Each structure stands twice: as C-alpha cells, then as structure tokens.
Amino acid sequence: MADLEWINRLLRKDNAITQKLVLSESMKLGGFFAKLISFSCDSWYWMVALLAIWLFGREPWRERAFLLALAIGFLAVGVLSIKYLVRRQRPEGEWGRVYRALDPHSFPSGHAARALCIALLVCFFGLGWAGFGLLVWAALVGWSRISLRLHFLVDVVAGWLIGAIAAGVTIMFYPVLQVLHGWILNIIAKVI
C-alpha cells in the first residue's frame, strides 16, 4: 500500500489545483466561451470538415486533411484504450452530459490530445500563422475542459503529452503516409 501513497497524494493535489481552475456559476460569459472552445475540438466536427476538404479540396490541402484525419483517428483509439485501462472518473459536474454519458472516463483528455496534435501538425505543414493560432487554441481547449469540470489538470497535461507524441509519430511516418495517400487516390481514380 505504501507504493500507492504517492499516487494518492498526486491525485489529491491534482483535485485541489483543478478546483481552483473551475469556473464559478456566476461567470456566464466565461462559461459560454469555455463551452464554445470545448465544442470546437469535438472529433466529429473535425472529421466532417477534413472529409470535405479531402473530397473537394486541392493539393496540398487534400493530403494535409488525410494526414490530420489519420492522426485524429489513431489518436482516438489510443486515448480510448488508455481511458478504459485507467478508468478515472470525471470530476463531478452538471455540464457536458453527452460527454459524461458516452465517455465517463477522464484520463487522459482526448480533446487536449487532439487539439495539440492538430496544432503541431499544422505547424509542421508550414502554416506558421495558423499553427501559432492553433497552439493558443490548444491551450484554451485544455483550460475549457478543466473549467467546465470535465477533466482534472493531470488529464489535460497527459492529453497534451499524448497529442505531442501522436503528432511526432505522424511526422516521423510522413513519407510513408504520403505514399499511402497517393495509393488511395490512384485506387479511387481507377474505380471512378
């Protein structure tokens, strides 16, 4: 049992810090902003937008959309696997019933992971202005998840770490993924 005491201390400290970052009920405008930021990182919005870019866009946007969608998809599998292994319950709260019902587990934050992965890949694509804006957005996504009582601070930090790793792996395999994208386009061209 002594081996687990450091984990219990960490979780107590995490809970105490998280409580200081939560928005009070009286902060209506802050709550609206936090909800808007949180929704902006929902995976289904991103996947629909990326599919539209891939279907109707031109190169290099099609390839970028493909790589982002692939990274987001693999990231989702990894995050959900960790969530079901760890099974840390979300902080108590009223907001986010859909999130709480579909995914009752808190560690790690999939939104934080996705946001940082997207931001880092956009930086890799050489879109500096957009990359910088998305790095700020990734920080705000993490804040929103804590302030709305959907995650603890450690969940968000772990999510950012996982997102950075996912972006790094995607970048490492970029040449292979480019070939895969070209191969898929060739198959589609032959079918159509």
The answer to whether residue 62 sits within a structural domain is yes
The answer to whether residue 59 sits within a structural domain is yes
The answer to whether residue 36 sits within a structural domain is no
pLDDT category at 29 given cuts 50, 70, 90 is low
CA atoms within 13 Å, Cβ hemisphere of 6: 1
Rounded-to-integer distance, Cα 170 and Cα 68, Å: 9
pLDDT category at 28 given cuts 50, 70, 90 is low
Predicted structure pTM score:
0.87
The answer to whether residue 6 sits within a structural domain is no
Residues forming the active site: 111, 151
The answer to whether residue 20 sits within a structural domain is no
- Percentage, residues of the chain above pLDDT 90: 53
How many domains does one find in the chain? Answer: 1
Statement: residue 24 has pLDDT above 70 = no
The answer to whether residue 1 sits within a structural domain is no
Rounded-to-integer distance, Cα 151 and Cα 17, Å: 12
The answer to whether residue 21 sits within a structural domain is no
Among the ranges given (6-10, 75-79, 154-158), the one the predictor scored with the smallest mean pLDDT: 6-10
Rounded-to-integer distance, Cα 144 and Cα 127, Å: 25
- Domain of residue 109, residue span: 42-191
The answer to whether residue 7 sits within a structural domain is no
